Amino acid sequence: MTLDNLSLRLQEMVPHFSERGYAVVPVPENLYSTLLEIFIEGRYMFDAFLPEKPHGIVESADRAPTLVLGGTGFGDNRPSLIHESPQLIQILEDFCGCSLKPTYWYGPRLYQRGAILHEHIDRPLSHIISASMHVDSDLDEPWNISVESGGIKKEVNIEKGHMLLYEGVRLNHFRKAPLNGRWYAGTFMHYTVSDSRVLPTDYLELAQQAQPCFRF
């Protein structure tokens, strides 16, 4: 079964946790100030951004690589603390209406001029509910993200200091318009349901088989 067919079957099975599948809300000020501090320190003080290993989801028409924080000696547990923050988890639980547990976080990622994000869904076990945070940017125009469910597509602008809460398996999401500007920094927080019984048995069985196929 191809990845596209797997994605369609998973989308047919996954429960809908909110009315639209997404919402844009401010990042709590205390968490955002920490994220911005991490980004500024990593980029301007420690030069700790390195090219990210290609995974086929993000490409650049200008061949400018996506950079990710992780230079030698730059160990920082603050993103983990934000990821596990009861304050952030409560916002996501209010959005989806169920109890969540943290799984993965990534970033800050630094996307450069010409970057595009191919259409995809997220990992079917670990990325049930997610937050995409706009940390900082230098853009000539908004770099909108498109979300699509049931053939209905919406373009969403995540303003600086805000985050997109979304159901990453239910919604196709992508940025097909190339980044017009110098760069965009984002951080990503992913969660799964605390009680797997919320998910149908046939979904869990297929998701367990499919999880290794997803790279993003």
Average pLDDT for residues 10-36, to the nearest whole number? 97
Contact in structure between 132 and 79 (CB atoms under 8 Å): no
pLDDT of residue 87: 98
Q: CA-to-CA distance for 40 and 193, rounded, in angstroms?
A: 33
Asked if residue 5 has pLDDT above 50, the reply is yes
The reply to whether 216 falls in a domain is no
The reply to whether 184 falls in a domain is yes
Angle CA(119)–CA(60)–CA(184) in degrees, nearest 5?
Answer: 85
DSSP strand E in the chain: where? Answer: 22-26, 49-51, 58-60, 67-69, 100-112, 115-120, 129-139, 145-149, 152-156, 162-167, 172-175, 181-193
Q: pLDDT tier at 76 (50, 70, 90 boundaries)?
A: confident
Contacts 24+ apart (CB under 8 A), 144-148: 144/175, 144/177, 145/117, 145/173, 145/174, 145/175, 146/172, 146/173, 146/174, 146/175, 146/176, 147/21, 147/22, 147/171, 147/172, 147/173, 148/119, 148/172, 148/173, 148/174
Asked if residue 75 has pLDDT above 70, the reply is no
Contact in structure between 44 and 69 (CB atoms under 8 Å): no
Contact in structure between 216 and 57 (CB atoms under 8 Å): yes
Contact in structure between 89 and 155 (CB atoms under 8 Å): no
The reply to whether 9 falls in a domain is yes
pLDDT of residue 73: 45
Provide, rounded to the nearest whole percent, the portion of the chain with pLDDT above 90: 76
Asked if residue 200 has pLDDT above 80, the reply is yes
Asked if residue 57 has pLDDT above 80, the reply is yes
Asked if residue 69 has pLDDT above 80, the reply is yes
Q: pLDDT tier at 1 (50, 70, 90 boundaries)?
A: low
**How many separate domains does the chain show?**
1
The reply to whether 123 falls in a domain is yes
DSSP type of residue 179:
P
Q: pLDDT tier at 86 (50, 70, 90 boundaries)?
A: very high
| pTM assigned to the model | 0.94
Residue (of 89, 119, 109) closest to 38 by Cα position: 109
Q: pLDDT tier at 191 (50, 70, 90 boundaries)?
A: very high
Report the CATH number at residue 52. 2.60.120.620
The reply to whether 99 falls in a domain is yes
Domain that holds residue 164: 3-211
DSSP of 108-167, one letter per residue?
A: EEEEETTEEEEEE---TTT-SEEEEEEEEEEESS---EEEEETTEEEEE---TTEEEEEE
φ and ψ at 85, to 5 degrees?
-60, 125
Is the pLDDT higher at 99 or at 150? Answer: 99
Average pLDDT for residues 50-73, to the nearest whole number? 77
Asked if residue 38 has pLDDT above 60, the reply is yes
Q: CA-to-CA distance for 163 and 101, rounded, in angstroms?
A: 18
pLDDT of residue 60: 76
DSSP strand E in 2-57: where? Answer: 22-26, 49-51
Q: pLDDT tier at 72 (50, 70, 90 boundaries)?
A: very low
Asked if residue 177 has pLDDT above 60, the reply is yes
Cis preceding linkage at 108, omega within 30? yes
Is the pLDDT higher at 52 or at 198? Answer: 198
